[in-house]
Amino acid sequence: MTRRLKKAELHCHIEGAAAPALALSQAGKYGVDPATFMRDGSYAWNDFAEFIKAYDRVAALFRTEEDYALLTETYLRELADVDTIYSEIIVSPDHGDRIGLGADTYLAGITAGIEAARAATGIEARIIVTGERHFGPESVIAAAEYAARSNNPLVTGFNMAGEERMGRVADYARAFDIAREAGLGLTIHAGEVCGAFSVADALDLVKPARIGHGVRAIEDPELVRRLVDLGTVLEVCPGSNIALKVFPDFASHPLVKFHEAGVRVCINSDDPPFFDTSLAQEYDWASSEFGFTDAEIDGMTRTAIEAAFVDEETRARLLARL
Ligand SMILES: Nc1ncnc2[nH]cnc12
Ligand SMILES: [Zn+2]
């Protein structure tokens, strides 16, 4: 049982954290037919491409600053209830723009949700702006420019999510240059749907401190050694990987192999209700399915805090809470 362990998460997409009950109430509010994204009380999708479409449909149910504040506060309170002390939330200004809310108001709602959850529970959180790869390089560059000029102190990182099979990392490298020059922490989804080459591209062209997933790097032992040498942190999301059939089951998931090889790894939920998981569930699986001891799981939580995109004073405060 990992219930009493302190937890930290670096990889959760805010719209992907919307519980089905909340999505249903938002659908009612805006007169959207739930059959467009849900079947038998669960989000409906069959493969990665359908998952991305379902995600975008659920994202479109959040249309005001208050909707985003509610979504964010609800998720962070849930995390705090299971002893989570830190969370990085992946947000996409494109979603704010696409529903006509605008990126500033979208971020204002998320910021209000973070502040309310922190005041109520003490949980610390930061915002990672992401470009969506399937919206194309221009949109990802625009997201980076937006993040770079944001003067919101909670915006501390830049990411790229979405359809990994669209284009190559090189097409998006400029966006990461912009974010790096602005002093943002860098992470990128790679090696989830695509193979080891995608992780190698990310290391060559983006030089990120962390990689979202990265798990298919296991296909190339040389690349695994490179991850160890660089100290790159993999934000591993086992429940997501199994739901999306990146690996058929826990037994074939490479988390233990990475850990044994000395790759820095941490545990994350990605889009919890889409994959029938939660951060608490992922921590339990780390013990029950992967066989990690409490001390090893605490080590992964420590890795998450060490790799968090926060100022050093906050990092020291968080480490002292472990
Ligand atoms: N697992 C995932 N991979 C890529 N893009 C995403 N957006 C939300 N979840 C994602
Ligand atoms: Zn993700």
**ipTM of the predicted structure?**
0.98
The CATH label, of 3.30.1550.10, 3.40.50.620, 3.20.20.140, 1.10.3720.10, for the domain at 7-321 is 3.20.20.140
Position in ligand 1 atom list of the atom nearest CA 133: 5
Domain boundaries, the chain: 7-321
Identity of residue 40 = D
**Is 65 part of the annotated catalytic residue set?**
no
**Is pLDDT above 90 for 29?**
yes
Q: Express each pLDDT in 240-264 by its tens digit.
A: 999 999 999 999 999 999 999 999 9
CB 77 within 8 A of CB 121: yes
Residue positions in the annotated binding site? Answer: 11, 13, 189, 270-271
Tokens representing residue 34 in the block: 């739930």
Position in ligand 1 atom list of the atom nearest CA 271: 9
pLDDT, mean over the chain:
97
Residue 190 belongs to what H/E stretch? Answer: strand 185-190
13 in contact with ligand 1, CB cutoff 6 A: yes
Q: Which of 50, 52, 95 to mutate to test the pocket of ligand 1 (most atoms within 8 A of CB)?
A: 52
Q: In this predicted structure, what is the pLDDT of residue 226?
A: 98
Query: pTM of the full predicted structure?
Result: 0.97
Q: Express each pLDDT in 226-245 by its tens digit.
A: 999 999 999 999 999 999 99
Q: In this predicted structure, what is the pLDDT of residue 176?
A: 98
Q: In this predicted structure, what is the pLDDT of residue 235?
A: 99
**Is pLDDT above 90 for 1?**
no
**From 192, 235, 282, 289, the catalytic residue:** 192
Q: Express each pLDDT in 167-204 by its tens digit.
A: 999 999 999 999 999 999 999 999 999 999 999 999 99
Give the largest Cα separation in the chain, rounded.
Answer: 52
Number of C-beta neighbours around residue 19 at 10 A: 15
